[in-house]
Amino acid sequence: MKNNNVRVVTDRIPLQHDGDGSDLFNYLHMAKPGDIIEAQQFSRQWQENELFPTAQKMETIVAKRGSMDLAGKKMITFFYEPSTRTRASFEIAMDMLGGRVIFSTENAADFSSLAKGEDIRDTILVLNRYRPDVIVLRSKTEGDAKRAAEISLAPIFNAGDGVGQHPTQAMLDVYTIKKKFGRIDGISIAMAGDLAKGRTVRSLAYLLGKYSDVTIHLVSPEELKMRDDIKDYLRRHNVFFYETNDLRQVAPFVDVIYQTRPQKERGTEAYPLISDSGYFAINPQIAGMMKQHSIIMHPLPRNEEIEREVDKDQRAVYLTDQIDSGLAVRMALLQMYLGK
């Protein structure tokens, strides 16, 4: 169905895939530069030279309440499972740049073609006939974003595909670190909580692997340790990593604690957040141990793994800078891919 002749190919987003990560993804089959499928697709150079500076410009646009740079551009947000926060961020990013959402659904699975047994390819082909400039896709099935991209003329932005990836979350996370420290090289980060099933820490690990001298402390209960595929990846990319079950051991010297939530909806059973067998939550005691210029991150939604008293801490960025970064990064991606 593809017609590469009519597609404007841009060289601004070089696909410097490093060959790691999802076996599903074969970049020989990658359709077009506009697609955002998985974190490892984006090189360090592109992040530093393109994404971060553009995101920074976007923040000044937000401060001015928006621009009309994408006037006339059209987004479809097509969500097979609900994700209010992600959908809001994408739709508001489009609105901030003067573009418009021409169709939006958050319950596609309830009644759409897939519910009736249709393949996602049919759906994507149909949506393409409506001439969107971008399709933001959220699905329940790993690999759907890639399947959609292979067949879509409009760029596909993966807004999460099941247990697969959520690449724009990882981008906003590294952008937040960059903003706070001026660099990502040499950073020391503790990832805490449900590392086995948390999609965000996995995607973030892929991106951090592209930088130098990064140290990762993996802080999780024994049964929720980071899986081997990521650890192998980190080894290949010379990322130092350590595993522990006590946040107190690492809090005093890391630059970042990236806290995650037990993934109950993916089968993780509740575990003691603070007990003799481990220390996996952030409370004022942990925050008090941290360096003055460290930060506390969380992809949200947050349950009890960060106590609410911590919110007021200047180092807590999960309800402020991270949200702003999400908007700025998604605006940047839209601007780079859809703008002139």
* Interface ranges with a second copy (CB under 8 A): 1, 62, 65, 72, 74, 76, 81-85, 87-89, 91-92, 95, 100, 102-103, 105-108, 110-113, 116-119, 122, 125-127, 129-131, 261, 264-265, 300-303, 308, 311, 319-320, 323-324, 327
The burial of 279, by beta-carbon neighbours within 10 Å (0-12 exposed, 13-18 middle, 19 or more buried), is given as: buried
74, 138, 147, 197: which one is catalytic? 138
CA distance 174 to 51: 11
Q: Which is nearer to a second copy, 131 or 293 (CB)?
A: 131
End-to-end CA distance of the chain: 25
Q: Which is nearer to a second copy, 118 or 222 (CB)?
A: 118
Residue 107, classed as helix, strand or coil, is coil
b vs e for 149-183, b when ≥16 Cβ sit within 10 Å of the residue's Cβ? bbbbbbbbbbbbbbebbbbbbbbbbbbbbbbbbee
Q: Which is nearer to a second copy, 9 or 63 (CB)?
A: 63
Q: Which is nearer to a second copy, 128 or 249 (CB)?
A: 128
86 is catalytic: yes
Contact 284/309 with Cβ under 8 angstroms? yes
Query: Residue 215's beta-bridge partner residues?
Result: 188, 240
Of the candidates 265, 331, 263, 275, the residue with the CA atom closest to the CA atom of residue 98: 331
85 is catalytic: yes
Minimum CB separation of residue 282 from a second copy in Å reads 15
Minimum CB separation of residue 4 from a second copy in Å reads 16
Q: Which is nearer to a second copy, 108 or 216 (CB)?
A: 108
Structure tokens at 312: 């007021």
Minimum CB separation of residue 84 from a second copy in Å reads 4
Of the candidates 310, 270, 308, the residue with the CA atom closest to the CA atom of residue 286: 310
64, 116, 129, 312: which one is catalytic? 116
Minimum CB separation of residue 154 from a second copy in Å reads 13
236 is catalytic: no
Q: Outline where DSSP puts E strands in the chain.
A: 74-79, 100-105, 134-139, 156-161, 188-192, 215-219, 240-244, 256-259, 274-275, 278-279, 295-297
Minimum CB separation of residue 20 from a second copy in Å reads 30
Complete DSSP assignment for 32-92: -TT-B--GGGB-HHHIIIIIHHHHHHHHHHHHTT---TTTT-EEEEEESS--HHHHHHHHH
Q: Outline where DSSP puts E strands in 108-195.
A: 134-139, 156-161, 188-192
54, 77, 86, 215: which one is catalytic? 86
Q: Which is nearer to a second copy, 83 or 244 (CB)?
A: 83
179 is catalytic: no
17, 44, 57, 85: which one is catalytic? 85
261 is catalytic: no
Minimum CB separation of residue 291 from a second copy in Å reads 23
Which residues are known to be catalytic? 85-86, 116, 138, 166
